[in-house]
Amino acid sequence: MRTLLRGGRVVDPGTGFDGVADVLLAGGAVEAVGAGLTAPDAVEVDVTGLVVGPGFVDLHSHVHSVAGQRLQAMDGVTTALDLEAGLMPVERAYAEAAAAGRPLHYGFSASWGAARAQVLAGIEPDANIESGLAVLGNPAWQRSSTPTELAAWLSLLDTELAAGALGIGVLMGYAPQTAPGEFLAVAHLAATAGVPTYTHVRELVEVDPAIPVDGSAEIAAAAGETGAAMHHCHVNSTSGHHIDRVLATLDDARRAGSRVTVEAYPYGAGSTAVGAAFIEPDRLRLKGLRPSSVVILETGERVRDEARLRQLRRDDPGAPCLLEFLDEDNPRERALLYRALAFPDAVVASDAMPVSWPDGRSESTEWPLPPGGRTHPRTAGTFAKTLRLMVREAGAWSWLEAFRRCSSLPARLLDDVAPAARRKGHLSAGADADIVVLDPERITDTATYADPTRPSHGVRHLYVAGVPVIREGKLDREALPGKPLRGEPK
């Protein structure tokens, strides 16, 4: 089926074009872009007054369900990749996603955490995000490795790369006392394999002066020493009040030639498992936070004191929670969040979390989703909120810059490891027909911490591989056109 998008404002960060034009889609690809295109056999869609651009490429999504991906589709995402944590075995992750069907394209990194947990703690990975969350609070894998253990889990990562993983996801912040040499070894492996790393860095020295090495300085140094392409995940949440120093560190490293890239999301609270190392009461105190900064997602409980937090960490370390690190209602702290987003070439990435319901379900093919779903609002609203803040309200980005941050730059991070990514993030002829059509005056998030599964508003059409997943603002429940994006061994 051919589709002709007629008369929209076409924004293509690949060529720098921003003007009124038509876009012709055919066979899952962009066939042509220009004024006055004709295609008598095409389904014509009038998009006058709307913005047409390449669909958003989310490098950091822990959503592995139709339900969660539908929320991301309503937010303008066409490709949702789990690269910070990854899943293992990666072959199983790809196979299970393909068998279940996905509305969006999907892909996974090789999981540093799962590989270490297998070697150091004997925990067999099952390519399941819920199991992965439960492992985060287990101290058995958080120690440093012996030389034999290091070689064993590096070999596992190498095997995962050969199986199509999109680089190496490193949850260093969940094992912050491990020997720095281990991180450097991962960087050497990545450089040799020609793949990126995606790192949740360890603590900053301002937060914990006893940390083996400052987290942001570590990634900058490793990239400089090895030449690896190293991506710093959610710089907003790992840096908090120290964002200016961290961004200066990373800027210096990039000016010196290090291949360090950065992502951010527009929220002052993060989400993880309550057993995470950095939610230990003493570590919260070092960050200037309190147990009351932690909210358990399933129940909405705001943790009252250290005793209760320790109990929760002991009884159910994998329980998803919110961690409030900045107050968005405080102008000074809100400005810190803006600076993370505004950092030159920072990409937008959601860190979308799984959706679950009180009865224990983590999937639903109903639409609209059943009431009571729990997740972080960033799952449903990251991209629309960013566009609202940075384009409509602050005027800090043009639409061209917004699509560069949300579509082009994230896709370009994957060009070397996954040549198929070169067809994403732009609208030239031959590009993938992954297209978002949005209302520039109405695009906004609606998800809140209290009601986190409310879909964003303003995405009028969304095409994934040329298949309409959203038409006239309504999601097509039958559309599951998502395809795997896989790494290609060198």
DSSP letters, 232-287, are E--HHHHHGGGHHHHHHHHHHHHHTT--EEEEE-S-SEEEEETT-GGGSHHHHHHT
Task: Report the alpha-carbon distance of residue 365 to residue 79 in Å, rounded.
Answer: 19
Place of tokens 């039958």: 478
- On whether both 43 and 96 belong to a single domain, the answer is no
- On whether both 410 and 370 belong to a single domain, the answer is yes
- On whether both 255 and 338 belong to a single domain, the answer is yes
Task: Report the alpha-carbon distance of residue 96 to residue 375 in Å, rounded.
Answer: 22
In a domain, 463, yes or no: yes
Tokens of 254: 């990039």
Backbone angles phi, psi at 357, to 5 degrees: -120, 160
- On whether both 47 and 74 belong to a single domain, the answer is no
pLDDT of residue 286: 87
Task: Report the alpha-carbon distance of residue 111 to residue 169 in Å, rounded.
Answer: 5
Tokens of 149: 């253990």
DSSP letters, 306-361, are HHHHHHHHHH-TT-EEEEE-S-TTSHHHHHHHHHHHHSTTPEE---B---B-TTS-
- On whether both 195 and 72 belong to a single domain, the answer is yes
Residue 489 has pLDDT above 80, yes or no: no
When pLDDT is cut at 50, 70 and 90, the band that residue 298 belongs to is: confident
- On whether both 18 and 132 belong to a single domain, the answer is no
**To 5 degrees, how large is the angle CA 190–CA 195–CA 201?**
65
User: Left (φ > 0), alpha (ψ -120 to 50) or beta: where does 66 sit?
Assistant: alpha
In a domain, 76, yes or no: yes
In a domain, 186, yes or no: yes
pLDDT digits (tens, 9 = 90+) for 3-46: 999 999 999 999 999 999 999 999 999 999 999 999 999 999 99
- On whether both 33 and 59 belong to a single domain, the answer is no
pLDDT of residue 1: 82
CATH of the domain at 169: 3.20.20.140
- On whether both 173 and 32 belong to a single domain, the answer is no
pLDDT digits (tens, 9 = 90+) for 304-349: 999 999 999 999 999 999 999 999 999 999 999 999 999 999 999 9
pLDDT of residue 472: 98
Residue 121's CB is within 10 A of a number of other CB atoms, namely 15
3 state DSSP class of 475? strand
Residue 217 has pLDDT above 80, yes or no: yes
In a domain, 449, yes or no: yes
Domain coverage including residue 449: 1-52+426-473
- On whether both 62 and 115 belong to a single domain, the answer is yes
pLDDT digits (tens, 9 = 90+) for 154-192: 999 999 999 999 999 999 999 999 999 999 999 999 999
Q: How far apart are the first and last CA of the chain?
A: 35
